[in-house]
Structure 1
Amino acid sequence: MKTSLRSAKIDDLDLLVYIDLLNEGYTSNSEEVAITEEIKKHRNKIENFIVHQDKGTLILEEIES
């Protein structure tokens, strides 16, 4: 398969937050309150990279050839 690099869209926010939390070691078994606060922090941080023109987030996708 080929890959494609594209700019992230706001529709990608949930996936990016999920990946970022996994990267930091959070799991679905973590305490609910802590996760809720962490999700809010991660959403705000990542959303800034998606919506501001002077920042950026890239998505590497597999595409069918």
Structure 2
Amino acid sequence: MSIEIESYKLGDIRVVVTETDNPQRVNIHCSDGEYQHEFTARVYEYENYRRLMNQRIVERFGAAGNPGN
């Protein structure tokens, strides 16, 4: 099982960051109860571009809830 690094909420979206087998990457799992998305990112990107990553997560979940947009 992966070791959890951090978990937090972006509104209704729960974000869980865990370690991967590669020490230079992290796994990011996002869920709002209805939709789920999981992706990996470099540790550097996670540490230095977290605000942009969070903005994109919120945008994508908003688009998933409104498929006409």
Please classify the TM superposition score into its range, dividing by the shorter chain length. 0.3 to 0.5
| Alignment TM-score, normalising by the size of structure 2 | 0.35
More strand by share: 2
| Alignment TM-score, normalising by the size of structure 1 | 0.37
Higher Cα radius of gyration: 1
More helix by share: 1
Q: Which has the higher contact order (CA 8 A, sep 6+)?
A: 1
